Structure 1
């Protein structure tokens, strides 16, 4: 369960971020992969900024979503 939880949260946030990004992102599969990476990035950024979002599933979703949005935004800059 240790590896499955972040994968599920990352996949969900990647899919959601793909729906929120203008143009739909890169497609569902790539959005999910970028969402998993975005969850890692979101956690890293929040730790560096000393920002704490509520722990638990909701906090993990918000952190992952913000990280996924950042990753999809940056990846979209290279897509053009």
Structure 2
């Protein structure tokens, strides 16, 4: 197996992970500077994020099912 894709994927995960961490930290620090948040507001945001994650998971599972169904219909060997 070639080592180049493994190194590039690890590098990509590290770069995007660092970028996401810094973006979340920056937004958190900006919010901290402003007014204090209420528990109700935090719970509402957590609920919205959870809903988006669930919807994304359902859509991802549907796409996976569609891809395998299309592959089988086209006669591809997916085993």
- Scaled by the length of structure 2, the TM-score of the pair is 0.32
Structure holding more helix per residue = 2
Higher Cα radius of gyration: 2
Between the two structures, name the one with larger relative contact order (CA 8 Å, sep ≥ 6).
1
- Scaled by the length of structure 1, the TM-score of the pair is 0.32
